[in-house]
Amino acid sequence: MAGKVDVIMRFQLFDFRSSKLDKLCGVCGDKALGHNFSAITCESCKAFFRRNALKPKDFVCPFSGNCKVDAITRRFCQKCRLKKCFEIGMKKEWIMTDDEKRMKKKKIEQNRKKRVSSDSAAKDAPIRKLSNYGGSPTAAELKSLKMTNTDGRKEPNSNNAYYIFIITK
């Protein structure tokens, strides 16, 4: 039974992510791009929630306390908008602290530097032209393509870098 449920859950997740249907914000009904803080929301409601969910301030509803929140009226009542954010399942625990934001930014920068250095290493790799210029490479050349790397050894070097081969006609 657990196997069947697992398969159904994976299918639903795949179907949801591959769906071309427009997603609607669970707070205001505006066009949503994806999940934010565990709920499908628009960018406006995501930003509103991030700015206000952790505030100790108690908002006051200027109306009856049960306002209609939609794309037009969402700016009229902060209390009812925030209440609806929590009702649809947005989680304030998922809002990153300043330290978490700094760490994420640092990690992104490190990954960017790694990617740039690996891209430049690939561009600087020596290029060897195949001897058979007129057509397809010979079997021996194809074998050498798979076996030779930038260090001239038969296995990948520390960066898993191989030669770049260009077949010209």
Tally of domains in the chain = 2
Q: Which of 94, 116, 140 is where one domain is finished? A: 94
Q: Are residues 132 and 86 in the same domain?
A: no
pLDDT at 7: 36
pLDDT at 117: 80
| Residue 115 counted as domain residue | no
Q: Which of 74, 94, 114 is where one domain is finished? A: 94
- Per-residue pLDDT 10s for the chain (169 aa) are 444 433 333 334 444 444 545 799 999 999 999 999 999 999 999 999 999 999 988 899 998 888 999 999 999 999 999 999 999 999 999 999 999 999 999 999 999 988 888 766 656 555 555 554 555 666 666 666 544 444 444 454 444 444 444 444 4
Q: Are residues 35 and 79 in the same domain?
A: yes
Q: What is the distance, to the nearest Å, from the Cα of residue 44 to the centroid of all Cα atoms in its chain? A: 19
pLDDT at 92: 94
Alpha-carbon torsion (9, 12, 14, 16), positive or negative: negative
Alpha-carbon torsion (29, 31, 35, 36), positive or negative: negative
| Residue 101 counted as domain residue | no
- Kindly state the helix (H) or strand (E) to which residue 32 belongs, with its residue range: strand 31-32
d(CA 72, CA 81) in angstroms, rounded, equals 12
d(CA 169, CA 64) in angstroms, rounded, equals 78
| Residue 14 counted as domain residue | no
**Which CATH number characterizes residue 73's domain?**
3.30.50.10
For residue 84, give its domain range: 21-94
Q: Are residues 25 and 87 in the same domain?
A: yes
| Residue 5 counted as domain residue | no
Question: What pairs with residue 129 in β-bridges?
Answer: 166
| Residue 130 counted as domain residue | yes
